[in-house]
Structure 1
């Protein structure tokens, strides 16, 4: 799902909506953001009668809209998914103001029980999923709000090199630090929910599954979710989001477009033995193992530097950095939540890594 507006426009829109009795108000970054309310007629006008769909998921569809000549996204949650609408509204109201978290600009007023529920959000043109799929982003954002159907020519692409990879990971980690401070667990972190502009600036979106620490989180994407969410293996804490972050990190540095689902029982030694055999018989690209298992097999058999994609080595990742980033991916995807690093430590590690000038 794609949403955020051009740089610096989000705050302008917030300020423009402020001041009226029914308008939005923001009383400092540390207090709760009160979004503006929009009627159903307002939302029809903002979206030109919901004509431009830019994302469609299990719980909602997202439409591009415009308020005062500024692009916005209107997320229409399905009528039987009110709980997800409430979760997202509550979480985004508390997380308002962080530059790498999608901003809640408004909500639908006077929602009836059987209505679809709308949120007005920042607009952003790309997702990390698309960037991974195509190896980069077009140098200029498309007018329609999503990646063109045809892949851009190589000389038009702002490639996902080491500097851009590290930038995305740092900004994601920064957002997760804020989520952790507010005692939330996202529970559904994946590349589709990491939004980008053409300069690889990040905003994390989709907080419909977000819960407070200790609350039960519904099972989500089986490729990115931690076992404590999928299989109710233990109490869910922010370590679950660290796991999802680790899977995305591995996916980015290994340049893996597709991630296989986790098996019901993550017996790591047994799965590694099976993965070794599968890679030997079918080749690395044809193995059906989860990426966390593939990474461990590669490192054990070939050593550090073996899982980092060659394009990152050629495009800015120094040899001294390889071991650190690979080790971080392994640590974040430990099956035991207590063995995963805290997200603050993850951000510190990423901030200490070097980029090419």
Structure 2
């Protein structure tokens, strides 16, 4: 046992057996205020007039105690004193990453026996890895990367039987990894860029070479250790052994020569590859590439580790890792702050700058969908912020052109548009950051769940969605005669928790190359459109008309088939109306609302007008919005009949309006 271990164990023992006072939310609050006073740097923007610390930024409470404390990248500096964390005994997640904290982590962290996630990477902590960490038996994620920790790696990690992530890269650790190193649940491990030597323990040999780069380790996924190769003997006896040694020496020399040549060629190939990708793995960078590849995942206290790892977090985690791994070396180096010209997320004036590119790459994420312009992800940042990130594909314009066009998109500000908060541009990656819409898209709401558990969309919700979408598109058209959306469809109408409609993907049609545009709006495209990158405002009106028909019929445009050749949705609706089957047009979920049949037919007529064959026959978006506003006001004056009643409206009722 090391000399410094005894005081820590004594402190832990006394804290558990002889607590000085019963911790409560008040003591948690006092501890947080003490932390605020103890560390320098940017002031923690906490409203201390609030009695409850649960309302402070970065603080999450459970059962009236502080359970999560996230203070990443807020320029904290100085040394953390003892006497703070000993009061935060219910702490489950602690993140102080990307600050400038020095010294050694305080020993009273040992009192946080419920701690499961500890993120201290990207600081200036020094000294040996604290022994008290090995008493935190519930730890699942531990990240000490990119600090100045020294000394040897202790076999005490074996005590952490639930540990799944251990990142120690980019420190000054020395010596060898203990041969008996065995953490049974370990799934992620990295000791790159340390002064380690010796052989890789057998239990760690399943990890890839990336986990050991920048060290003098050998064996396992790395080159064989010197002296481990055996030379087969051709015969017995002492004399035979001597002769065999002389015989084999020539072959061994030739093998070494050939191996050296092959090794040199392999090294040259690797260097060329690294130069092409502009990837950097130098020691001393704030965050290592391996860290970027593995986003942080919080392990909640209310579920077992097995439940969480095999449940909802598992898929999101692997997706996020895949997304981050797909980032090029240039983007990763820039996220790490490498290079004098390192690029960053560019925020627009109405966006709070509470995260950066590195935070985005670390976020736990899941794929929302693959669309016309790229793949969209739901990203949950470590501080709890949720955003939607779109990785653009087929962008062929220059950075200046991109910046000019995307800044005009970011300047769009309307309550019925999904706001663009930030963007990132490099040669290989183009990212857009939007507000996350909790209810997903109108397409998913209409067509995603037809089972018994589906919540029907009533007339009030559908008419409100139609009005919100109309207002958003009308605003876009008001910004200039040549400004259009170009990609209006139900999957680009997103919904808030209260079912308010937000138009997304506006302004992106001019960013992509021609390979991304064909067939991108099948079923929504106006007949006159020949170049999908050049869509007029009247063509937007046509697409909006199809969208209204989709709302009223419940049918997707590509699913309304009359024969083998297939017929688009506007033609299908018109054929039904001509045969005086108007009630057959509407979605069954709408047929129960007898009192609003007049308004439903009015909206149907507007949809048909918008989807007229010839552009000059279509109304403007301002006219369409006005008509929807009128019928919505009319709907509010009527009492809805909750009993099912099929609508019986003749075809001439539609044609006469």
TM-score after normalising by structure 1:
0.68
- Alpha-carbon distance in structure 1 between the residues aligned to 2:368 and 2:449: 21
CA deviations on 1:148-197 (whole Å, 9 max, x unpaired) are xxx5724xx2x211111101000000001100011221111111111113
User: Cα 1:107–1:35, aligned 2, differ >3 Å: closer, same or farther?
Assistant: farther
- Structure-2 residue corresponding to 1:253: 552
**Distance in structure 1 (CA, Å) of the matches to 2:595 and 2:498:** 19
Aligned to 2:433: 120
Partner of 1:244: 543
- 1:310-329 equivalence runs, <5 A: 310-315=588-593, 318-329=596-607
Q: CA deviation at 1:237?
A: 2.3
For the aligned residues, what is the CA RMSD?
Answer: 3.4
Aligned pair in 2 of structure 1 residues 85, 160: CA closer, same or farther (>3 Å)? farther
Match of 2:585, SS state, is coil
Do the aligned residues in 2 keep the contact of 1:93 with 1:104 (CA within 8 Å)?
A: yes
Q: Which residue of 2 aligns with 1:103?
A: 419
Q: Is the 8 A contact 2:484 2:536 kept in 1?
A: yes
Q: 1:227 aligns with which of 505, 508, 527?
A: 527
Counterpart of 1:43 in structure 2 is 360
Q: Which runs of 5+ in 1 are unaligned?
A: 1-11, 13-21, 27-32, 137-150, 262-277
- Residue matched to 2:191: none
Which deviates more from structure 2 when the two are superposed, residues 176-185 or residues 127-136? Answer: 127-136
Residues 322 and 303 (structure 1 numbering): CA distance in 2 closer, same or farther, change over 3 Å? farther
Q: Is the 8 A contact 2:418 2:434 kept in 1?
A: yes
1:171-250 equivalences under 5 Å are 171-183=468-480, 184-207=483-506, 209-210=508-509, 218-219=517-518, 220-229=520-529, 231=530, 236-250=535-549
Long gaps (5+) in structure 2:
1-56, 58-344, 640-657
Superposition pairs of residues 44-123 of structure 1, within 5 angstroms:
44-45=361-362, 47-48=363-364, 51-67=365-381, 68-78=383-393, 80-83=394-397, 89-96=406-413, 98-108=414-424, 111-113=425-427, 115-123=428-436
**Pair 232,339 (structure 1): closer, same or farther in 2 beyond 3 Å:** farther
SS in 1 for 2:528: helix
Distance 1:338 1:23 in 2: 41
Which of the numbers 465, 469, 479 marks the counterpart of 1:168?
A: 465
Where 2:591 maps in the other structure, the secondary structure is: helix
CA distance in 2, matches of 1:251, 1:58: 20
CA offsets 1:208-244 (integer angstroms, 9 cap, x no match)? 54459xxxx9553121111232x359x8421111111
Paired with 1:35 and 1:335, the residues of 2 have a C-alpha distance of 45
Q: Contact 1:76–1:116 at 8 Å: present in 2 too?
A: yes
1:302 to 544, 566, 580: 580
The equivalent position to 2:453 in structure 1, one of 149, 153, 156, is 153
Contact 1:77 1:85 survives alignment (8 Å): no
**Of the candidates 609, 616, 628, which is equivalent to residue 338 of structure 1?**
616
Shift of 1:259: 2.1
> For the Cα contact (< 8 Å) 1:255–1:309, is it kept in 2?
yes
Are 2:524 and 2:546, in contact at CA under 8 Å, matched by a contact in 1?
Answer: yes
Q: Post-superposition shift, 1:41?
A: 2.1
What is the TM-score when the length of structure 2 is the normalising length? 0.38
Q: 1-side partners of 2:583 and 2:403: how far apart?
A: 44
* Secondary structure of 2:465's aligned partner: helix
Using a 3 Å threshold, how does the CA distance of structure 1 residues 317 and 127 change in structure 2: closer, same or farther? farther
| Pairwise CA distance, 1:312 | 1.1
Q: Please state how far the C-alpha of 1:42 moved relative to its aligned partner.
A: 3.4
**Counterparts of residues 23-38 of structure 1 (less than 5 Å):** 24=347, 26=349
1-structure distance, mates of 2:565, 2:498: 33
Q: Give SS of 1:226's match.
A: coil
